[in-house]
Amino acid sequence: MKADFKTIALVGKFNTPACTGSLLRLADFLGKRGHVVMLTAHTADSCDLREYPVASLKEIGGQVDLAIVMGGDGTLLNIARSLADSQVPLIGVNQGRLGFLADVSIDTMFTTLDDMLSGQYVAEDRIMLEASVERHEDVLIASYAFNDVVVSKSTMGRLIEFEVYIDNQFVYSQRADGLVVASPTGSTAYALSAGGPILHPTLEAVVMAPICPHTLSARPIAVHSNSEIEINLIHASDARVHFDGQLHSDLMVGDRVVIRRARRTVRLLHPEGHNYYDTLRQKLHWGEKL
């Protein structure tokens, strides 16, 4: 596959100065390969790096051909949402713990990235969600979510009650701690902990997984990714909606959370030979003897 990544953005884990050395070495490596290196503003500030051009996340999307994200999956989720409208492909270098998305090992990153930047990579387009919170006729907040949109109880710790509609058809009313609506990428995150199925990341589907439902008959379901999912809050002392566990907004009784497939996709670049099932086996410890 032909690669033409003239200008590359480097993104470090937010507020983590410990990544400074790795970022400097990577920037030097890219410069020697002939790439123009830019840093996001928060990366430059967090790591006190001033040797390279700096731009905000809002600005950098239109100036780079690729973003290399050093951190964990949480860092990559944030950058995926921020750069979604720019359609900048992403490579994740894992400095976190799990690494479902950031699958380039920091121990071998120079060899791996040299191959990938020479065109030896696998490109994968993954769907995103977009959701809005509507109160009466007003939209209070709207955001992308790469992993999931979660409606849940907040600090009070009491069950909430909500109704769910799919494509304007009533599905059920539910008393629970909440509901996870996850993309295939997010099916291995919160939705998995809530008992949901693992979806291959290329599936055209979305998971709905109740969180600690009051009735044992409530089960996760998967619906087509083109479905519009509406969650109406019927009763709650304290409730919130979360986007990828990183953005949130308080909810009131009567609020509607409307979730759709986003028009944009996220393009992830993996090392050549990437196999999703290898990732699952490694990260979930399948087949290991107890």
Which residues are known catalytic residues? Answer: 73
Query: Would strands 66-71 and 7-12 be described as parallel, antiparallel, or unpaired?
Result: parallel
Provide the CB-side half-sphere exposure for 141 (13 A, CA).
15
Q: Phi and psi (nearest 5°) for 22?
A: -65, -40
- A 10 A CB-CB count for 139 gives 11
* Helical residues (DSSP H) of the chain, grouped into ranges: 20-32, 41-47, 57-60, 73-82, 109-117, 190-193, 276-283
Burial of 170 (0-12, 13-18, 19+ CB in 10 A): exposed
Question: What is the spatial distance between Cα 290 and Cα 269, in angstroms, rounded to a whole number?
Answer: 34
Which of 142, 118, 117 lies closest to 129, judged by CA?
142
| Adjacent-strand bridge partners of 266 | 126
CA 171 – CA 235 distance, rounded (Å): 17
Q: What does the block give as tokens for 204? A: 């055209």
